[in-house]
């Protein structure tokens, strides 16, 4: 069967999202979100979304490609390849990977990272293409409709819980908090949030971001911890990021914020909740287990050095 790899077109957003949902049903993906991400990619990331189509023109695979422009280390790129489960074995993954690697290496990348779903065929594919495994991360799912969430706890006297929408007039304090927590997030490639305008455009105004369900723990007027919520409007909720300012850690603030966010999400009609954790992040895995999350899949981070 003929497979063609090409750059995306505006009308590809739904097909691109459909492949992502089929390949990774534990992540939120909508046509609106995909189109938004394409339109707001940072120029220094040199992002180039690709699709693979069959002879009928149906989108059967996709690639997300970028340079890690916000990482402290230079010359780092990433490529994530997704092929619809019903169309695997046709060569789409190989063609997408080849095009992605060419794009990144032409722009100076010498270290390439890729997330690979932990299945024998997927790991064998990565190894054949010269990638070696590094670390793993788990997808977790919570049945919001049926699970018994931990009861809501009254915050300490010095702590106030606010929705992120309370900062609609000036979200910069949340940007500062996000930057503090992102700086020491577990991972192979670090990230430094320094561009407030880009954060405002791509995080605060992202179509999946739900400012009403995102909950912030405020201590003496200062945002100290938060649980960021994403909502696809189809009953699926995702914890985009949960973190605490290092100066306020050890007080249970992130746990408090996340519990309130989950309760409000269920009241808003969400029926499923998803999140992701690095396999080595024992404290966060324990918190999510306390909420009732269960591991539903695992991804393995792979790396290849080129040049």
The CATH code for residues 4-109 is: 3.40.630.30
- Contact in structure between 3 and 92 (CB atoms under 8 Å): yes
| DSSP track, 85-150 | GGGTTSSHHHHHHHHHHHHHHHTT--EEEEEEESSHHHHHHHHHTT-EEEEEEEEEEEETTTS-PP
Q: Do domains 4-109 and 142-297 have the same CATH topology?
A: yes
- Compute, in degrees rounded to 10, the torsion defined by CA atoms 112, 187, 288, 221: -130
Residue 220, Cβ density class (10 Å: 0-12 exposed, 13-18 middle, ≥19 buried): exposed
Per residue in 107-159, pLDDT (tens digit) is: 999 999 999 999 999 999 999 999 999 999 999 999 999 989 999 988 999 99
What is the share, in percent, of the chain residues with pLDDT greater than 70?
97
Per residue in 198-230, pLDDT (tens digit) is: 999 999 999 999 999 999 999 999 999 999 999
Per residue in 265-307, pLDDT (tens digit) is: 999 999 999 999 999 988 889 889 999 999 999 999 999 999 7
**Chain-wide mean pLDDT for the chain?**
94
Task: State how far the Cα of 210 lies from the Cα of 132, in Å rounded to an integer.
Answer: 36
CATH class of 142-297: alpha beta
What is the residue extent of each domain of the chain?
A: 4-109, 142-297
Per residue in 148-175, pLDDT (tens digit) is: 999 998 899 999 999 999 999 999 999 9
């Amino acid at each position: 069967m003929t497979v063609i790899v090409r750059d995306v077109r505006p009308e590809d957003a739904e097909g691109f999202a459909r492949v992502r949902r089929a390949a990774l049903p534990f992540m939120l993906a909508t046509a609106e979100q995909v189109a938004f991400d394409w339109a707001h990619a940072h120029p220094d990331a040199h992002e180039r979304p690709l699709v693979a189509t069959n002879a009928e023109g149906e989108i059967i695979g996709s690639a997300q490609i970028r340079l890690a422009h916000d990482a402290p280390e230079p010359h780092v790129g990433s490529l994530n390849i997704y092929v619809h489960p019903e169309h695997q074995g046709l060569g789409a993954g190989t063609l997408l990977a080849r095009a992605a690697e060419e794009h990144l290496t032409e722009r100076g990348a010498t270290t390439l990272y890729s997330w690979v779903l932990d299945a024998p065929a997927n790991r064998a594919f990565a190894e054949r293409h010269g990638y070696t495994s590094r670390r793993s991360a788990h997808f977790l799912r919570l049945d919001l409709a049926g699970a018994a969430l931990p009861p809501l706890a009254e915050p300490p006297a010095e702590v106030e819980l606010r929705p992120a929408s309370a900062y609609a007039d000036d979200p910069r304090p949340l940007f500062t908090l996000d930057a503090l927590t992102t700086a020491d997030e577990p991972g192979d490639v670090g990230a430094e949030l320094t561009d407030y305008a880009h954060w405002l455009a791509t995080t605060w105004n992202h179509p999946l971001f739900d400012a009403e369900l995102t909950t912030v723990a405020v201590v003496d007027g200062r945002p100290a911890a938060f649980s960021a919520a994403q909502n696809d409007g189809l009953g699926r909720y995702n914890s985009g990021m949960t973190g605490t300012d290092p100066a306020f850690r050890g007080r249970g603030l992130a746990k408090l914020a996340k519990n309130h966010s989950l309760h409000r999400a269920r009241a808003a009609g969400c029926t499923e909740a998803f999140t992701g954790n690095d396999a080595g992040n024992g404290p966060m895995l324990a918190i999510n287990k306390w909420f009732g999350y269960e591991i539903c899949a695992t991804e393995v981070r792979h790396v290849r050095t080129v040049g």
